[in-house]
């Protein structure tokens, strides 16, 4: 059985507990409408993008055990993070035994932080592991500090430290836009496309419409804007933009084609880079160093399909 079919089967069995992460926009690309009702954000889809990843285990050999696995050894999250763009970690199970099993994974995190799924139950073939996005809820009143996330299955457990830091203390790798405030000119309501998703640190287009990218609400109408306030003056010389780009939704058909990169200095917006004719998933714009307290992406055209603006991530250095 191929992996995709297997993953779909697990979903169809409804064995996963916890909230469904997102609805997925669908329906066909309509003929030129006389009246603009909200248009689908994308072309037809046969099924939602899977929220479960099932794959052959990366660990070689049989351990004879079912063990919890996590996508990262630790996770740093900013206090006051927008709940529409909750941080997440991949959590799951590995079957190191010789036969298929049904197994349960229990997730616990130190309060007041919360995990989106207290339990994951799944069928798991021998030699496979699965991972599910576990969203981490961080109430505004949560004090800075460390909150262990414990994943258990049977007698096996794995602890991942989750550290809540203030925004200034966030390890941003030099990307001063990370987790800053974003304002979009509009956002499509036919799915989950929050503006804050363009600064959540996740560059992947996978799981489109599940909250990992922004889609504006004004089809075939330009320009659209994304404004990112940096919280203070920064010297900028580079902005990277990630547009949608997957096997199903390639950038050359669904991605952003033309845009201006602007920065705000002394309350005035100025254009520092212009991108035209893009067909790739990521574009780096370099420009002469400039002091600014905000970055704007002013979109001018996309590559066709429904003609929306679709942005996965914006990084500023
Ligand atoms: Ca993102
Ligand atoms: Ca638009």
Which pLDDT score, from 0 to 100, does residue 40 have?
58
CA of 248 to the centre of ligand 2 (A): 22
CA of 309 to the centre of ligand 2 (A): 6
Ligand nearest to the CA of 178: 1
* Cβ–Cβ under 8 Å, residues 294 and 201: no
Regarding whether 308 and 192 lie in a shared domain, the answer is yes
CA of 59 to the centre of ligand 2 (A): 46
Please, what's the b/e burial string for 269-298 (b: 16 or more CB within 10 A of its CB; e: otherwise)?
A: beebbebeebeebbbebeeeeeebbbbbbb
CA of 176 to the centre of ligand 2 (A): 26
Which pLDDT score, from 0 to 100, does residue 71 have?
94
Picking from 170, 185, 208, the residue at the C-terminal end of a domain is 170
Regarding whether 244 and 109 lie in a shared domain, the answer is no
Which pLDDT score, from 0 to 100, does residue 42 have?
65
Ligand nearest to the CA of 179: 1
Which pLDDT score, from 0 to 100, does residue 186 have?
96
* Overall size of the chain counted in residues: 317
Query: At 157, which CATH number?
Result: 2.60.40.10
Inside any domain, residue 261: yes
Strands 101-109 and 145-153: antiparallel
Regarding whether 183 and 162 lie in a shared domain, the answer is no
Regarding whether 285 and 254 lie in a shared domain, the answer is yes
Ligand nearest to the CA of 223: 2
Inside any domain, residue 88: yes
Regarding whether 179 and 283 lie in a shared domain, the answer is yes
Inside any domain, residue 140: yes
- Beta strand ranges found along the chain (DSSP E): 52-56, 66-70, 75-78, 88-95, 101-109, 114-115, 119-124, 128-137, 145-153, 156-165, 181-184, 214-215, 224-243, 256-265, 268-275, 282-302, 310-316
Picking from 170, 190, 207, the residue at the C-terminal end of a domain is 170
Regarding whether 158 and 74 lie in a shared domain, the answer is yes
Beta bridge partners of 113: none
Inside any domain, residue 94: yes
Which pLDDT score, from 0 to 100, does residue 207 have?
83
Secondary structure element (H or E) that encloses residue 58, with its range: none
Q: To the nearest 10°, report the CA torsion of 138, 140, 143, 146.
A: 10
Place of tokens 């035209």: 276
**CA 188 to CA 208: how far, in whole Å?**
13
Picking from 124, 146, 170, the residue at the C-terminal end of a domain is 170
Regarding whether 239 and 146 lie in a shared domain, the answer is no
Regarding whether 111 and 91 lie in a shared domain, the answer is yes
Domain extent for 95: 58-170
Q: How many beta carbons lie within 10 A of that of residue 145, not counting itself?
A: 11
CA of 88 to the centre of ligand 2 (A): 29
Inside any domain, residue 40: no
- Cα angle 228-282-262, degrees, rounded to a multiple of 5: 35
Inside any domain, residue 211: yes
Inside any domain, residue 107: yes
CA of 87 to the centre of ligand 2 (A): 27
CA of 6 to the centre of ligand 1 (A): 27
CA of 198 to the centre of ligand 1 (A): 4
Regarding whether 189 and 165 lie in a shared domain, the answer is no
CA of 100 to the centre of ligand 1 (A): 35
303 CB-near residues (< 8 Å, 6+ apart): 251, 252, 253, 254, 255, 256, 257, 278, 279
DSSP state of 208: T
Domains held by the chain: number: 2
Which pLDDT score, from 0 to 100, does residue 44 have?
40
Query: At 176, which CATH number?
Result: 2.60.120.260
Backbone angles phi, psi at 74, to 5 degrees: -155, 165
CA of 39 to the centre of ligand 1 (A): 23
Beta bridge partners of 78: 165
Regarding whether 180 and 155 lie in a shared domain, the answer is no
CA of 312 to the centre of ligand 1 (A): 5
Regarding whether 206 and 310 lie in a shared domain, the answer is yes
Q: Which two tokens stand for residue 195?
A: 């503006």
Ligand nearest to the CA of 299: 2
Place of tokens 């212009």: 274
Regarding whether 299 and 179 lie in a shared domain, the answer is yes
* Cβ–Cβ under 8 Å, residues 38 and 188: yes
Place of tokens 């705000």: 264
CA of 133 to the centre of ligand 1 (A): 14
Ligand nearest to the CA of 36: 2
Which residues in the chain come in under a pLDDT of 70? 1-51, 60-61
CA of 277 to the centre of ligand 2 (A): 17
Inside any domain, residue 28: no
């Amino acid at each position: 059985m191929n992996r995709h079919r297997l993953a779909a089967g697990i979903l169809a069995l409804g064995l996963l507990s916890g909230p469904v992460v997102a609805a997925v926009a669908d329906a066909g690309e309509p003929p030129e409408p006389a009246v603009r009702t909200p248009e689908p954000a994308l072309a037809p889809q046969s099924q939602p993008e899977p929220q479960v990843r099932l794959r052959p285990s990366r660990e070689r050999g049989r351990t004879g055990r079912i063990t919890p696995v996590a996508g990262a050894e630790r996770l740093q999250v900013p206090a006051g993070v927008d709940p529409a763009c909750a941080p997440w970690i991949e959590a799951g199970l590995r079957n190191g035994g010789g036969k298929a099993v049904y197994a349960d994974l229990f997730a616990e995190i130190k309060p007041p932080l919360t995990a989106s799924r207290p339990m994951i139950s799944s069928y798991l073939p021998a030699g496979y592991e699965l991972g599910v996005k576990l969203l981490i809820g961080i109430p505004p009143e949560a004090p800075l500090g460390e909150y262990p996330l414990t994943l258990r299955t049977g007698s096996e457990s794995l602890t991942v430290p989750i550290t809540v830091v203030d925004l200034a203390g966030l390890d941003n790798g030099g990307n001063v836009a990370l987790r800053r405030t974003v304002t979009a000119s509009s956002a499509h309501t036919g799915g989950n496309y929050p503006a804050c998703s363009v600064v959540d640190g996740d560059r992947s287009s996978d799981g489109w419409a599940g909250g990992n990218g922004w889609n504006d609400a004004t089809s075939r109408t330009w320009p659209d804007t994304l404004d990112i306030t940096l919280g203070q003056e920064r010297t900028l010389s580079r902005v990277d933009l990630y547009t949608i780009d997957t096997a199903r939704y390639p950038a050359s058909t669904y991605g952003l084609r033309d845009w201006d990169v602007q920065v705000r200095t002394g309350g005035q917006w100025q254009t520092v880079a212009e991108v035209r004719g893009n067909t790739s998933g990521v574009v780096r714009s370099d420009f002469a160093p400039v002091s600014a307290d905000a970055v704007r992406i002013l979109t001018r055209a996309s590559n066709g399909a429904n003609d929306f603006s679709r942005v996965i991530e914006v990084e500023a250095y």
